């Protein structure tokens, strides 16, 4: 006698379900890790470009001092911009005012 019913497919066991879910989670973890690596690589590359630019500016400042001939003044001009940007972003106004007064 031949049976016309669907072939019997073994039901998925608990172990199979756990294995399938573990594989799916592992694949998601790999995707997240790859995204993090890409982000960190982009940030490292941008930092490296900025570092090279600052080194070139520093070398140019040391080789060609300002009109006053002071390397210190030249270096102060080079560093002032980035420091001011960070201070504006991080420090409250009253702290910046006190620091500015102390530096004069």
- The alpha carbon dihedral of 77, 78, 79, 85 has a sign of positive
Q: Is 5 part of a structural domain of the chain?
A: no
Q: Quick: pLDDT tens for 62-71.
A: 676 555 556 6
Has residue 1 got a pLDDT over 60? no
Q: Is 86 part of a structural domain of the chain?
A: yes
Q: Is 6 part of a structural domain of the chain?
A: no
Question: Helical H runs in 10-104?
Answer: 14-63, 71-90, 93-103
DSSP-derived 3-state class of residue 92: coil
Q: Quick: pLDDT tens for 33-55.
A: 999 999 999 999 998 888 888 88
Q: Which pLDDT score, from 0 to 100, does residue 54 have? A: 81
Phi then psi for residue 9, to 5 deg, are: -100, 125
- Cβ neighbours around 74 below 10 Å, total: 21
Q: Is 97 part of a structural domain of the chain?
A: yes
Q: Which pLDDT score, from 0 to 100, does residue 101 have? A: 83
Q: What is the mean pLDDT of the chain?
A: 80
Q: Is 99 part of a structural domain of the chain?
A: yes
CA torsion, points 87, 92, 94, 96, in degrees to nearest 10?
A: 0
How far is residue 72's CA from residue 61's CA, in Å, rounded to a whole number?
10
Kindly state the average pLDDT of the residues 85-89: 77
Number of domains in the chain: 1
Has residue 97 got a pLDDT over 90? no
**Which range of residues forms the domain containing residue 26?**
14-103
Q: Is 7 part of a structural domain of the chain?
A: no
- This prediction has a pTM of 0.47
């Amino acid at each position: 006698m031949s049976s016309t019913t669907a072939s019997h497919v073994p039901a998925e066991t608990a172990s199979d379900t756990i294995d399938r879910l573990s594989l799916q989670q592992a694949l998601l973890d790999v995707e997240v890790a790859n995204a993090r690596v890409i982000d960190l690589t982009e940030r490292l590359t941008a930092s490296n470009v900025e570092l090279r630019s600052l080194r070139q500016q520093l070398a140019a400042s040391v080789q060609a001092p300002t009109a006053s001939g002071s390397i210190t003044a030249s270096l102060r001009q080079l560093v002032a911009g980035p420091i001011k940007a960070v201070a504006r972003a991080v420090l409250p106004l009253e702290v910046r005012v006190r620091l500015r007064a102390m530096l004069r």
